[in-house]
Structures are given as structure tokens and as C-alpha cells.
Amino acid sequence: MTEAGSDFVDGVHVFPMRVYYEDTDAAGIVYYANYLKFAERARTEMLRALGTDQSRLSAEDGIAFAVRRCTADFLKPARLDDRLEVHTRVTEVGGASLSADQAVRGEVGELVRLGVRLACTNTSGRPARLPKALRASLRDLTEKNQRGR
């Protein structure tokens, strides 16, 4: 596990978190759909670490992200009070989209593997170009990812 407060390691964003009671089912195991929430929070914090927050994107640029595709492989369960990290690696940046691989990790290793494709849309739900500065920051991440591998 990385140190608290770390944002990026070799171009991969690391979001530390803990499993709360509200995240679990009656057996104290994280309910599968909550991993999607964890991944969403991590992507939001990755954008914030790049100097962009989604409320500003919406208010100033009139754009938002929508999940176009998501795959998930559930490998091991997380449990109440577990410390987790969500690792987000941007794999592709297009004019109006981006793809990322995400992994939820715990003390016992990788728990869930996700692949997401996001579309950038305007207020009408139509495709919209990523802001130039954000697109450049995301492309820089993909280059760091490739060098760090």
C-alpha cells in the first residue's frame, strides 16, 4: 500500500480509502456495485489532482463525463474496515473520450479489476471535445504510464 496523500506513482493515480459499514452487505462484505462507486470517486480525485474538478467543467465548459463501457472482474472480496487503494491508469485519450484501467487493491492484493471508457458530453448529451489543457494532462499521464511499465 502506498503512503496516504500520494496522488500519482509512475503516472498511475492512487486513491486511498476505507470500507465503511454502508459499503457492505449483511455478511460484512463489500456489495459488488459499490466497487463502481469507488472507481468513480477515484477518477474524480484523479481529475482534481490534475487541476480539474467536475463541477467547474460542468459550470464553465458545459461538459460532463458519461460511462460508455465498463467491465469488471471480481477477484477477492473486501470487508468492513479494510484499507483499500484504487489505482487508475489512463490508457487512451481521444478528442471526446478517454479509457482507463482501474484496480481496487487491499492488503491481500488485487480485489477488482475494471476497464472503463468515458465519453465527454455537452449539456444536450452529445459528444463534446475534452478541454485542451485537460486532454494534454491526460495524454501526459498515458506517456508516463508507458514509460513506467
The set of catalytic residues is 25
Task: Kindly report the backbone phi and psi dihedral angles of residue 81, in degrees, each rounded to the nearest multiple of 5, phi listed first.
Answer: 75, 0
For 95, which DSSP code?
S
Task: Kindly report the backbone phi and psi dihedral angles of residue 77, in degrees, each rounded to the nearest multiple of 5, phi listed first.
Answer: -85, 150
- Helices (H) and strands (E) in the chain — how many of each? 3, 6
Task: Kindly report the backbone phi and psi dihedral angles of residue 138, in degrees, each rounded to the nearest multiple of 5, phi listed first.
Answer: -65, -40
Sign of the torsion formed by the C-alpha atoms of 46, 103, 72 and 19:
negative
DSSP-assigned states of every residue in 39-84: HHHHHHHHHHHTT--HHHIIIII-EEEEEEEEEEEE-S--BTT-EE
